[in-house]
Amino acid sequence: MTFIVVSLIKIAIVMAFFMTVLAYLQWIERKVLSHIQLRVGPRRVGPHGLLQPLADTLKLFLKEDLMPAHVNRFLYRLAPAVAVFLCLLSVAVFPFGPEIEIFGVRTQMQITDLNIGILFVLAVTSVGVYGIAIGGWASNNKYSLMGGLRSAAQMISYELPMGLAIIAPLLMLNSLSFREMVNNQAGYSLGFIPRWTVFQYPFPQVFGFIIYLIAAFAETNRIPFDLPEAENELVAGYHTEYSSMKFAGYFMAEYANMTTVCCIAALLFLGGWHPLFPAPYSNLVPVVVFVVVAALAFFHGLQPARKWDNITFPIVGVIALILAGLFFVPVLNTILIPIFWFLSKVGLLLFVFIWVRGTLPRFRYDQLMRFAWTFLFPVALINLLVTGLLVAVTTGH
């Protein structure tokens, strides 16, 4: 009984947090992109445009749900539902922190720990292509169909290097469960180098990490691999015919997939919730970060560049100080410190995704395929072979 109640509470917390992150990820992306392109971005709805995601969601809710003529009605409705369902599924197996005890109940900071966690995520992502492919086909539109086809071909091609890049750290971590994998990355070699797989003996997975990231860009249909929705060739690609909440479903799926691949990268390569520095120093890092944020906010509040800056920036500063203070509360800090490290890794990777979108142009379709099969795939294979050889030699069996 306690198990069911605890699980329901955990699911509610994770889903509420995940949904908020998805909504605000879009705001962050628009802000970062606009600053890269020397614009200001959304700032009309709420202070600094902070209520923009809410307004966008409301708009999509209230829009008319068009059903184009000549579509396959059943599949046209089914496809966005499949996309949303599958992109929210994999978050169930991600661990956010170690085992904790609250009010006498011991529980893991994770919805469920599967023995085959990584295989579960691979299965979910490999089926995820149907949402896009079927949507493109059912729309009965040449641009949608091209988008769906491109997406299917691209995801099959990039799943191979992605899978091979994932297997290499699995060889070193010797498990398929996310929790065990992260636990095997605990500790420091030479007292200061964290034993994350990107730094771990015998073969640091730097190449594996880069291959994984490149393949992840293609898997999530992001620039520079966003051929399925290339707007100057295909209008909007596979979701050209979709409007209202069905379009919102695809939109959410893209951001959810982005978050998922970043979580996998953080768990497999960057040591999950294990901090960059040994314990006594690493516990101070979140406090220092939030105090610095607060100081910057107060500094800018004192020298307002825009109309409301002398009010909004001090509020941000106070919030940052409260967050810094939370890390001194005895029970809370055992929960917050791992979450801080995990989220900062995921956040950094998400920032890289947005950064790349603001920096790189789109590939041509033949370049995309040639890159996957003649460069990324062989390199991933060599990385796997070298890792396997070194692991076999050093462990001796």
Partner 1 sequence: MDTILFFIFAIIAVVCGLNLVLQKHPISSALSLIGVMGSLAVLYLMLGAEFLAAAQVIVYAGAIMVLFVFVIMLLNAGSEKPGGKSWFAQIAGIPLLLAFIAVMGFVIETFLPALRSVRFGSFAGGTAREIGRVLFTEYLLPFEVTSVLILIAILGAVVLARKEID
> Does position 262 bind partner 1 by CB under 8 A?
no
**Nearest residue to 254 via CA among 280, 223, 275:** 223
Which residue, 123 or 285, has its beta carbon nearer to partner 1? 123
State the Cα–Cα distance between residues 42 and 215, nearest whole angstrom: 31
State the Cα–Cα distance between residues 223 and 217, nearest whole angstrom: 7
Which residue, 93 or 316, has its beta carbon nearer to partner 1? 93
Select from 25, 91, 93, 129 the one that contacts partner 1 (CB under 8 A).
Answer: 129
> Does position 127 bind partner 1 by CB under 8 A?
yes
Q: Which residues are CB-neighbours of 370 under 8 A, at least 6 positions away?
A: none
**Nearest residue to 219 via CA among 248, 269, 171, 256:** 256
> Does position 108 bind partner 1 by CB under 8 A?
no
> Does position 171 bind partner 1 by CB under 8 A?
no
**Nearest distance from residue 23's CB to partner 1, in Å?**
29
> Does position 86 bind partner 1 by CB under 8 A?
no
**Nearest distance from residue 120's CB to partner 1, in Å?**
6
> Does position 155 bind partner 1 by CB under 8 A?
yes
- Of 151-159, 181-189, 196-204, 333-341, the window that binds partner 1 (rule: CB under 8 A) is 151-159
Encoded one letter per residue, x for contact with partner 1 by CB under 8 A and - for no contact, window 175-194 reads: -x------------------
Query: 268 near 181, Cβ under 8 Å?
Result: yes
Residue 121 φ/ψ, nearest 5 degrees: -65, -40
**Nearest distance from residue 145's CB to partner 1, in Å?**
7
> Does position 89 bind partner 1 by CB under 8 A?
no
CA R_g for the chain: 22
Select from 88, 93, 152, 350 the one that contacts partner 1 (CB under 8 A).
Answer: 152
Number of residues that bind partner 1 (CB under 8 A): 25
In Å, the largest CA–CA distance within the chain is: 68
Select from 84, 88, 153, 162 the one that contacts partner 1 (CB under 8 A).
Answer: 153
Angstrom distances, CA of residue 232 to CA of 11, 36, 222, 237, 301: 40, 22, 15, 10, 42
> Does position 380 bind partner 1 by CB under 8 A?
no
Angstrom distances, CA of residue 152 to CA of 227, 262, 344, 370, 376: 11, 21, 32, 16, 18
> Does position 145 bind partner 1 by CB under 8 A?
yes
Select from 27, 120, 207, 371 the one that contacts partner 1 (CB under 8 A).
Answer: 120
> Does position 392 bind partner 1 by CB under 8 A?
no
> Does position 167 bind partner 1 by CB under 8 A?
no
Select from 21, 55, 122, 285 the one that contacts partner 1 (CB under 8 A).
Answer: 122
DSSP lists the bridge partners of residue 109 as 97
- CB-based burial, 316-345: b 16+ in 10 Å, e otherwise: bbeebbebbeebeeeeebbbbbbebbbbbb
What is the separation of C-alpha 233 from the centre of its chain, rounded to a whole number of angstroms? 27
The footprint of partner 1 (CB under 8 A) covers: 75, 114-116, 119-120, 122-123, 126-127, 129-130, 133-134, 136-137, 145, 148-149, 152-153, 155-156, 159, 176
